[in-house]
């Protein structure tokens, strides 16, 4: 079997399981202490992956923020921040987005075969574009990342991407932060959509840690035998 990186899924959600509001305004589900925890997790990874909708909607920089953590990475011979990775079928991404322009780190775009040429034209100057098949298969993405030297991958959403990593049994660890409020609008994106998940009433995931971080709670789940050995 081809190898894949140790994969950690991370997200914040409301009490009713939403990743965002249904409006254009970005919803803050975290707090400063938790942002700092996420920064430390990022700094310990080789690559961070988000879906194309998150790149378009949130315009994230996906960089390690702490100067000390950046310096520590550089001292270990690494770039200041992990490689940035996204996945797209339509290739409608803006090369001026912060994902592409912020930080001196490598950017990878896994693109469906049908739009590969369009993606190369638009994003080739700012990223490495990879033809990832039709449709893009996350197993293939994971294995390609491993071949490119990624040993520890952090997946930061959104729900479409989390769903595929979970249903594809490609996740080793889940960090779920629960914010103390409800969204209450089913038009908003959820943590996961429908699917056949390896963890169900007959195969329960292992709850490895519960941590109160100010007014949010971190639930850390071990999802594979690799957890704790990495």
Residues in contact with ligand NAP by the rule CB under 6 A: 11-12, 19-20, 29, 50-54, 57-58, 87-90, 92, 112, 135-136, 156-161, 164, 189
Cα-Cα-Cα-Cα torsion 60, 64, 65, 69, nearest 10 degrees, comes to 170
CA 57 vs CA 22, 34, 222: distances in Å: 12, 21, 30
In whole angstroms, what is the distance from residue 157 CA to residue 9 CA? Answer: 8
Q: Which two tokens stand for residue 83?
A: 């490689």
Closest distance of CB 136 from ligand NAP, Å: 3
Q: Which is nearer to ligand NAP, 53 or 78 (CB)?
A: 53
Q: Which is nearer to ligand NAP, 62 or 223 (CB)?
A: 62
Q: What is the CA radius of gyration of the chain?
A: 17
Closest distance of CB 33 from ligand NAP, Å: 16
User: 138-148: buried (b, 16+ CB within 10 Å) or exposed (e) per residue?
Assistant: bbebbbbbbeb
Q: Which is nearer to ligand NAP, 60 or 79 (CB)?
A: 60
Closest distance of CB 71 from ligand NAP, Å: 27
Q: Which is nearer to ligand NAP, 85 or 150 (CB)?
A: 85
Q: Which is nearer to ligand NAP, 50 or 150 (CB)?
A: 50
Closest distance of CB 122 from ligand NAP, Å: 12
Q: Which is nearer to ligand NAP, 79 or 89 (CB)?
A: 89
Scan for tokens 């339509």, then name that residue: 90
Closest distance of CB 34 from ligand NAP, Å: 10
User: CA 43 from chain center: how many Å?
Assistant: 14
Closest distance of CB 124 from ligand NAP, Å: 16
Q: Which is nearer to ligand NAP, 86 or 224 (CB)?
A: 86
Closest distance of CB 105 from ligand NAP, Å: 19
Nearest to 205 by CA among 189, 190, 227: 227
In whole angstroms, what is the distance from residue 50 CA to residue 164 CA? Answer: 12
> Parallel, antiparallel, or unpaired: how do β-strands 173-178 and 216-222 relate?
antiparallel
Residues with Cβ < 8 Å from 1, sequence gap 6 or more?
none
């Amino acid at each position: 079997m081809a190898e894949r990186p140790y994969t950690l899924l991370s997200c914040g959600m409301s009490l009713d399981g939403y990743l965002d509001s249904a409006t254009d305004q970005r919803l803050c589900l975290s707090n400063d202490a938790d942002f700092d925890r996420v920064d430390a997790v990022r700094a310990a990874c080789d690559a961070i992956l988000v879906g194309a909708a998150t790149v378009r909607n949130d315009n994230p920089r996906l960089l390690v923020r702490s100067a000390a953590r950046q310096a520590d990475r550089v001292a270990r011979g690494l770039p200041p921040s992990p490689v940035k990775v996204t996945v797209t079928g339509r290739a409608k991404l803006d090369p001026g987005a912060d994902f592409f322009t912020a930080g001196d780190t490598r950017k990878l775009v896994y693109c469906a075969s049908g739009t590969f040429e369009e993606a190369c034209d638009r994003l080739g100057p700012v990223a490495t574009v990879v033809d990832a098949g039709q449709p893009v298969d996350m197993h293939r993405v994971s294995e390609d990342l491993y071949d490119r030297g990624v040993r520890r991958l952090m997946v930061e959403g959104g729900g479409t991407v989390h769903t595929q990593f979970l249903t594809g049994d490609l996740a080793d660890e889940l960090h779920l932060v629960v914010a103390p409020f409800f969204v209450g609008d089913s038009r908003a994106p959820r943590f996961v959509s429908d699917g056949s998940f390896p963890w169900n009433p007959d195969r329960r995931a292992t709850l490895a840690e519960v941590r109160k971080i100010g007014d949010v709670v971190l639930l850390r789940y071990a999802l594979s035998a690799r957890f704790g050995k990495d």
